[in-house]
Amino acid sequence: MPVIAVIDYDMGNLHSACKGLENAGATTKVTDSAQALEQADAIVLPGVGSFDPAVQHIRSRQLEGPIKAAIVSGKPFLGICLGLQILFDASEEGKEPGLGIIPGMVRRFRSEPGITIPHMGWNQLQIHQPESPLWQHLPSEPWVYFVHSYYVDPVKEDVKAATITHGSQTITAAIARDNLMAVQFHPEKSSTAGLQILSNFVQWVNQRRLVTIG
């Protein structure tokens, strides 16, 4: 069973994330320890709340370096919601620099007639990387659950793993680059599709772990 470190920085619903991963067959370890991140088979960075406090808490726990080192090492990494946004350079929500792992900005939805901000509820993914481990065994346009007022705007188009449409705006809903994956929606709140996505991640981690052991 793979051990997945779930980063605790006081900015996420850790219980829901852990429950979804455990239902998919993982052993979870909630931690803010750099050593635990290094020892785990994979890392999940959940997050709910505002950009500036999130990156401040990451840095106050001296986790920025270990997170970057884990991603560079090739360790499977999954960001969820705010855990996606803080991977970017900066956000219109605050003034703190992000982790700068993915080039790009976090932007606020434009106000327009007929859309609500925050974007809250179910929306359909348009898959851009069908070969990604996250999307296996899913329908072509799965429904997932969102709660957010800001969205990521990556510099490079090729990191976009999925998009959604909200009003007239098409925005990035997930990114993927090698071992790094992150989603704006909440898979733990996204019913069957969300649980399948978490299961896909756990299975991918386990396959990589068995190859390494072998």
Q: In this predicted structure, what is the pLDDT of residue 77?
A: 98
The domain that holds 93 is classified in CATH as 3.40.50.880
Backbone angles phi and psi of 107, in degrees to 5: -120, 155
**10: pLDDT confidence band, cut at 50, 70 and 90?**
confident
What would the DSSP string read from start to end of 131-193?
TSGGGTT--SS-EEEEEESEEEEES-GGGEEEEEEETTEEEEEEEEETTEEEESS-GGGSHHH
**15: pLDDT confidence band, cut at 50, 70 and 90?**
confident
- pLDDT at residue 12 tops 80: no
Whether 64 is catalytic: no
Whether 186 is catalytic: yes
Span 163-210, pLDDT tens digits: 999 999 999 999 999 999 999 999 999 999 999 999 999 999 998 887
Question: Which position among 57, 119, 166, 186 bears the catalytic label?
Answer: 186
Question: Which position among 81, 119, 128, 148 bears the catalytic label?
Answer: 81
Span 120-152, pLDDT tens digits: 999 999 999 999 999 999 999 999 999 999 999
Q: In this predicted structure, what is the pLDDT of residue 211?
A: 74
What whole-number distance in Å separates Cα of residue 37 and Cα of residue 173? 26
For the segment 67-85, the average pLDDT, to the nearest whole number, is: 97
Q: In this predicted structure, what is the pLDDT of residue 11?
A: 83
**90: pLDDT confidence band, cut at 50, 70 and 90?**
very high
Domain that holds residue 136: 3-213
Q: In this predicted structure, what is the pLDDT of residue 70?
A: 97
Q: In this predicted structure, what is the pLDDT of residue 190?
A: 95
| pTM (2 d.p.) | 0.96
- pLDDT at residue 213 tops 90: no
Question: Which position among 18, 57, 119, 188 bears the catalytic label?
Answer: 188
Whether 18 is catalytic: no
Name the domain count of the chain.
1
